[in-house]
Amino acid sequence: MSKSNDALFERAQQVIPGGVSSPVRAFRAVGGTPRFIVRGEGPRVWDAEGKAYLDYVLSWGPLIAGHAHPSVVEAVSRAARGGLSFGMPTEAEIELAELIRTVVPSLERLRFTSSGTEATMSALRLARGFTGRSRIIKFEGCYHGHADALLVKAGSGLLTFGNPSSAGVPAEAAQHTLVLDFNNVAQLEETFALEGDQIGAVIVEAVAGNMNLVPGSAAFLQALRRLCSQYGSVLIFDEVMTGFRVHPGGAQALYGITPDLTTFGKVIGGGMPVGVFGGRKDIMQCVAPLGPVYQAGTLSGNPVAMAAGLATLNLTLAPGFHEGLARATQRLVDGFNAIGRDLGGRISAACVGSMFGLYFSPTAPADFAQVMTADRDGFNAFFHRMLDQGVHLAPSAFEAGFLSSTHTDADIDATIAAARKALEPAG
Ligand code: HOZ
């Protein structure tokens, strides 16, 4: 007998804070009951009540080949039969590292972690260890996981709940974090002119995906590279969302800007818990055991996760894979924009590769202030009308959406039709 989402949510709240293992999933921003998922296949997930949804969350990005792709499942099963974890090196780590470096050559050396949070936390420690400088720059609305120094004016769940800095972070832990405006070149230049020689690292989502989707402008990204080089600061691209998505070689390949360090997350593991930080060899050689910057993890390079990552990344290397995804995403965005035009600018949409933003504002935002003008109540009502029609978007007006290679044109057209129905006045 199927269980209801309501009953599961009630039971979950008796044992897990908010009933969820990560806050945005609790539907607090949009209201109502989260769907408890029992399985996924291709572009769809099914909830505990047996209802199917076209999924545009895709585990927050990594399922670029859709849910339970047969070759990924096969690779994972084979690896699992050989042992779940060793805490000792395996050849699969070398294979995946080599493959990543082939696709993203700026990762001259790289190390696996178990999550994107660990990757960004480690990259920052490394940048500080390498430069001997404590101060870092991040940008308002960008989210880099939940390490203390980065939970300042952050996006994603913090923005969703309107509390962009977390309690429990001692002032001392964040005192070296400078928060600047995303896409503001003049402010960046002024800051570097004043204290560039104290800045150890600048971390950025080149395409911000945690305040909805906001691409960095060419001028902004070029200024980041120029100033970091000029002042000897380490430029870190957080490609947890953009990696292998906005372009096969990530945002750095799309924009032609080479960061010093890069972080990747779950996409590297095809949805399994994995992260990576890597980059310039001279910087990476400061990591233990070669250098003095400590970083470790028993589950890092986990053999099952490596197998999933290898299988997934190999799928993305098929000719035309990214072009097909980008074309499909553009079809979805064009459909949303047509609705927006018909409804006097009620919504708009944009995409970069297979990441998209759906905005409850007449035009796509270019910075954090514009993001905040979104009609949140409008989004929340829309979210539920889409859910009722079997389309699962991220439960927040401030998260980007994702497509997989298994979303067909028919799926996309059905999504656009559902959106029109959800937005048009009943008549
Ligand atoms: N903060 C994540 C997306 N930006 C969501 C994590 C999750 O709930 O899985």
Task: Extract the tokens encoding 360.
Answer: 């409850």
Q: Is 27 close to ligand 1, i.e. is its CB under 6 Å away? A: no
Whether 153 is catalytic is: no
Ligand 1 centroid–CA 154 distance in Å is: 13
Instruction: Report yes or no: 239 and 206 within 8 Å, Cβ to Cβ.
Output: yes
Instruction: Report yes or no: 338 and 346 within 8 Å, Cβ to Cβ.
Output: no
pLDDT of res. 162: 65
Whether 238 is catalytic is: yes
**First-last CA distance in the chain:** 38
Ligand 1 centroid–CA 134 distance in Å is: 28
Sheet of 135-139, strand order: 109-113, 275-279, 261-264, 234-238, 199-204, 135-139, 177-180
Closest-lying ligand 1 atom to the alpha carbon of residue 210: 4
- Residue of 343, 311, 353, 355 lying closest to 423 (CA atoms): 343
pLDDT of res. 164: 63
Ligand 1 centroid–CA 341 distance in Å is: 31
Q: What is the 3-state secondary structure of 108-158?
A: CEEEEECCHHHHHHHHHHHHHHHHCCCEEEEECCCCCCCCHHHCCCCCCHH
Closest-lying ligand 1 atom to the alpha carbon of residue 20: 8
Angle subtended by helix axes 321-342 and 409-423, to nearest 10: 20
Rounded Cα distance, 296 and 237, in Å: 21
pLDDT of res. 308: 96
Catalytic residue chosen out of the listed positions 143, 255, 367, 411: 143
- Residue of 306, 303, 314 lying closest to 102 (CA atoms): 314
pLDDT of res. 147: 86
Quickly list DSSP for 305-326. HHHHHHHHHHHHTSTTHHHHHH
pLDDT of res. 1: 56
Residue 32: helix, strand or coil by DSSP? coil
- pLDDT 10s digit of each residue in the chain, 427 long? 579 999 999 999 999 999 999 999 999 999 999 999 999 999 999 999 999 999 999 999 999 999 999 999 999 999 999 999 999 999 999 999 999 999 999 999 999 999 999 999 999 999 999 999 999 999 999 999 998 888 878 777 777 776 667 888 888 888 899 999 999 999 999 999 999 999 999 999 999 999 999 999 999 999 999 999 999 999 999 999 999 999 999 999 999 999 999 999 988 888 899 999 999 999 999 999 999 999 999 999 999 999 999 999 999 999 999 999 999 999 999 999 999 999 999 999 999 999 999 999 999 999 999 999 999 999 999 999 999 999 999 999 999 999 999 999 999 999 999 999 999 876 5
pLDDT of res. 148: 84
Rounded Cα distance, 209 and 202, in Å: 17
Rounded Cα distance, 416 and 422, in Å: 10
Closest-lying ligand 1 atom to the alpha carbon of residue 21: 8
289 upstream amide cis, omega within 30 of 0:
yes
Task: Please report the domains of the chain, with CATH numbers, ordered by start residue.
Answer: 5-68+319-423 (3.90.1150.10), 70-316 (3.40.640.10)
Name the residue of 156, 266, 393, 396 whose CB sits within 8 Å of the most ligand 1 atoms, as the mutation to test its pocket: 156
Count of Cβ atoms closer than 10 Å to residue 410 Cβ = 8
pLDDT of res. 202: 98
Q: Is 210 close to ligand 1, i.e. is its CB under 6 Å away? A: yes
Q: Is 244 close to ligand 1, i.e. is its CB under 6 Å away? A: no
Residue 343: helix, strand or coil by DSSP? coil
Closest-lying ligand 1 atom to the alpha carbon of residue 59: 9
Catalytic residue chosen out of the listed positions 55, 238, 260, 411: 238
Rounded Cα distance, 121 and 125, in Å: 6
DSSP 269: G
Count of Cβ atoms closer than 10 Å to residue 369 Cβ = 12
